[in-house]
């Protein structure tokens, strides 16, 4: 067994026990001999001593932190956790990805606006607080998806189809409104049961995998029974993904892209990116690559 090649200490912010969190911690530990899987609910900011403490460890003494998952589900409170990490940045700890970039992607609206301002093709999208305007938009689109501003893996999304009566549409809008102040409405496109995840590390392209829907699911997420496959992206598609992720400053991310009859569109750029799709779909150990990248950034990589 090779001895660790680095004395640098990089912690992993994530969900203890989750595969993606633990495999990243494994890769870092193999290179550095140091392991810390940090659940943000156990972190304390001590402004009187200017410390950020986790289980007795002053996180400001670390060389870096990789944020693999900051919370199980996205919520406004997730942004509070990012503020705590931003204080560590101010103390000189390298955070991957930068907290400003992650913060823009936690909220779906701010993430969407960055893509819009970057000239990235997206599905038709409208945002309003008005239930009346939301109803009119759904009827104009024919088929639409209601998306919460804070969600991952299609959680909380509602599909409204052409076959829904006015009463059914209004009922779904009312159901959505119980948990959301703003209606984020996106035209439902025919994905033919397939969309893509394009992986970037430090702005450089790694690979593209496909998510293929399982059964009658309307979305392709693995949570809904989807599976991963390799996809050979052409140069134009890779350039679109590169432009989309360049709207932010992400250390590691996945760009969600769909191929439609009107051309490729970008749904979103991930705040954290995924390892499983790269591994199962492309055979790429993105966790190992991310570990190498972070160590190089803090000054002691391969």
Q: What is the mean pLDDT of residues 154-169?
A: 88
Q: What is the mean pLDDT of residues 142-161?
A: 87
The answer, yes or no, to whether residue 1 has pLDDT greater than 90, is: no
**What pLDDT score was predicted for residue 151?**
79
> 155-190 burial string, b = 16+ CB within 10 Å, else e?
ebbeebeeebeeeebeebbeebeeebeebbbbbbbe
pLDDT band at 222 (very low <50, low <70, confident <90, very high): low
Greater confidence (93 vs 75) lies with 93
**What pLDDT score was predicted for residue 275?**
94
Q: What is the mean pLDDT of residues 223-240?
A: 87
CATH 1.20.1340.10 fits 191-286, yes or no: no
Percent of the chain with pLDDT over 70: 93
**What pLDDT score was predicted for residue 214?**
64
Burial (0-12, 13-18, 19+ Cβ within 10 Å), 257 = buried
pLDDT band at 2 (very low <50, low <70, confident <90, very high): very low
Greater confidence (163 vs 93) lies with 93
Q: What is the mean pLDDT of residues 146-166?
A: 86
Structure tokens at 212: 């293929």
Structure tokens at 161: 């189809």
The answer, yes or no, to whether residue 217 has pLDDT greater than 90, is: no
**What pLDDT score was predicted for residue 50?**
94
Q: Range with the lowest mean pLDDT among 15-24, 82-91, 148-157?
A: 148-157
The CATH architecture one would assign to domain 10-96 is: 3-Layer(aba) Sandwich (3.40)
Greater confidence (5 vs 246) lies with 246
The answer, yes or no, to whether residue 93 has pLDDT greater than 80, is: yes
Greater confidence (39 vs 72) lies with 39
Structure tokens at 228: 């991963």
Fold of 125-187: Dna Ligase; domain 1 (3.30.1490)
**SS3 track for the chain:** CCCCCCCCCEEEECCCCCHHHHHHHHHHHHHHCCCCEECHHHEEEECCCCEEEECCEEHHHCCEEEECCCCCCCCHHHHHHHHHHHHHHHCCCEEECCHHHHHHHHCHHHHHHHHHHCCCCCCCEEEECCHHHHHHHHHHHCCEEECCCCCCCCCCCEEECCCCCHHHHHHHHHHHHCCCCCEEEEECCCCCCEEEEEEEECCEEEEEEEEECCCCCCCCCHHHCCEEEECCCCHHHHHHHHHHHCCCCCCEEEEEEEEECCEEEEEEECCCCCCHHHHHHHCCCHHHHHHHHHHHHCCCCC
Q: What is the mean pLDDT of residues 233-251?
A: 97
Rounded mean pLDDT of the chain? 91
pTM: 0.90
Percent of the chain with pLDDT over 90: 80
pLDDT band at 219 (very low <50, low <70, confident <90, very high): low
pLDDT tens digits along 170-213? 999 999 999 999 999 999 998 888 899 999 999 999 999 999 87
Tokens 């690979």 sit at which residue?
207
Q: What is the mean pLDDT of residues 73-88?
A: 89
Greater confidence (212 vs 235) lies with 235
Greater confidence (106 vs 3) lies with 106
Greater confidence (78 vs 62) lies with 62
Domain limits of the chain?
10-96, 125-187, 191-286
**What pLDDT score was predicted for residue 302?**
39
């Amino acid at each position: 067994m090779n001895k660790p090649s680095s004395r640098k200490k990089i912690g992993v912010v994530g969900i203890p026990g989750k595969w993606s969190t633990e495999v990243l911690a494994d890769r870092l530990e193999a290179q550095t001999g140091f392991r810390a899987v940090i659940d943000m609910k156990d972190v304390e900011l001590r402004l009187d001593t200017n410390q950020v403490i986790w289980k007795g460890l002053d996180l400001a003494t670390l060389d870096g932190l990789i944020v693999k998952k900051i919370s199980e589900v996205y919520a406004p409170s997730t942004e509070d956790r990012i503020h705590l990490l931003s204080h560590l940045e101010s103390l000189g700890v390298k955070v991957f990805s930068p907290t400003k970039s992650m913060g823009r992607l936690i909220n779906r609206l701010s993430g969407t606006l960055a893509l819009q301002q970057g000239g990235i093709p997206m599905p038709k999208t409208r945002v309003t607080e008005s239930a009346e305007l939301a109803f009119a938009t759904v009827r104009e689109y024919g088929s639409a998806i209601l998306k919460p501003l804070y969600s991952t893996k299609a959680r909380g999304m509602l599909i409204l189809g052409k076959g829904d009566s006015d009463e059914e549409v209004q009922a779904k809008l009312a159901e959505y409104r119980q948990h959301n102040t703003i209606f984020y409405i996106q035209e439902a496109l025919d994905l033919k049961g397939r969309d893509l995840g394009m992986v970037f590390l430090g702005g450089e392209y790694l690979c593209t995998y496909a998510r293929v829907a399982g059964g009658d699911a309307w979305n392709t997420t693995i949570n809904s029974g989807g599976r991963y496959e390799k996809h050979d992206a052409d140069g134009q598609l890779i350039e679109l993904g590169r432009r989309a992720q360049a709207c932010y400053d992400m250390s590691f991310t996945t760009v969600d892209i769909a191929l439609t009859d009107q051309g490729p569109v970008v749904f979103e750029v991930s705040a954290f990116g995924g390892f499983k799709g790269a591994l199962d779909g492309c055979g790429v150990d993105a966790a190992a690559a991310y570990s190498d990248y972070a160590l190089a950034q803090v000054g002691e990589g391969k």
